[in-house]
Structure 1
């Protein structure tokens, strides 16, 4: 079980790196079957992948800009959604010179638009294309039936060793970018 957890952690690390580099979008990862709300990353991991100081993450949490979930012991855990908000906040702050209050409002509007676009996509799908399940907190969530997502996850698991150790050129084209990103990310358990 720990081995599977490690493979899943590596897959999420690849997704995080691709988000930060702009090679993937949150909705794409969601459509592929990743739980973008799964709290996977510690403060140091999130700071490393996003290229920010851990204190920046703590400040953003205090002002409510990027609010991660907490473990039972109170430690912060960041999700792909949190990392996406962090990257956007950094861009708006540093490149656009927008203050934290403005960033908070912009990110709230972007999230509202994203949710509306997602709802429109869901309403356009034929009946019976979704199933429902319980998430880790016991809440009911919609799970899209996606052959592409299942195939992609299967490829990730089938080539987990190659992703971290082997040359990226030997991998299927669909996961080659993720494998290249894996070599740039170092995680400390």
Structure 2
């Protein structure tokens, strides 16, 4: 599990509040460069945020409706995506009187639709505008070239040379260790 510093945690908490209040959505969070899958919230935090009893959250986990990641000790950790799914599930079940099987199907279709919109937006970007970053666990994510550039400018960057003299990827300190390399698209 990735350690998240206090300042980053506060930023994610503010975004989660905006999701709960329907002032933001996952597409905006993704476009703003947030890792919507980063597990940062405990059961208690999510319960307070969304005004849901922690036992309900545990029940949703057992039913497979919202399945958070687990720490090494087994504690549940929720991401922005989980918070968004939870809010949608609550609205569908309480406001629309849809049963949990229906909610599960609707959420799956909504996520598929969101992913397709994301792919469409990203396919419209100019060639070479995207780079990929890998964290210390080897998880790869796509970031905008300008984000990678701002990380380079604002963070300590070390460049290594391989045994053959070629330049290796830069290691960038940005809330967690990232290795960034450019990829041409198109």
Q: Shared topology, TM-score over 0.5?
A: yes
Q: Deviations over 1:71-95 (max 9, x none)?
A: 0010000000000000000000000
Counterparts of residues 25-174 of structure 1 (less than 5 Å): 25-135=25-135, 137-146=137-146
Larger radius of gyration: 2
Query: How many residues are paired up?
Result: 147
The alpha carbon displacement at 1:144 in A equals 1.9
Structure with bigger RCO (C-alpha 8 Å, 6+ apart): 1
Q: Secondary structure at the match of 2:89?
A: helix
CA displacement at 1:136 relative to structure 2: 5.5
User: 1:38 and 1:115 mapped to 2: Cα distance?
Assistant: 17
Relative distance call for 1:136 and 1:52 in structure 2 (3 A) is: farther
Classify 1:97/1:145 alpha carbon distance in 2 versus 1 (closer, same or farther; 3 Å): same
Larger proportion of helix: 1
Partner of 2:9: 9
How many Å separate the matches in 2 of 1:146 and 1:52?
A: 38
TM-score, with structure 1 as normaliser: 0.74
Q: What is the Cα deviation at residue 137 of structure 1?
A: 3.7
- CA shift for structure 1 position 139: 2.3
Deviation at 1:145, TM superposition (A): 3.0
SS in 1 for 2:5: helix
SS of the residue corresponding to residue 91 of structure 1 reads helix
Partners of 1:29 and 1:97 in 2: how far apart? 28
CA–CA distance in structure 2, aligned partners of residues 99 and 40 of structure 1: 28
CA-atom RMSD in angstroms: 1.8
3-state SS, counterpart of residue 74 of structure 1 = coil
Alpha-carbon distance in structure 1 between the residues aligned to 2:107 and 2:39: 19
Going from structure 1 to structure 2, the CA distance change for 1:123 and 1:109 (only over 3 Å counts) comes to: same
Unaligned runs of 5+ in 2: 155-186
Question: Secondary structure of 1:119's partner?
Answer: helix
* Alignment gaps of 5+ in structure 1: 155-189
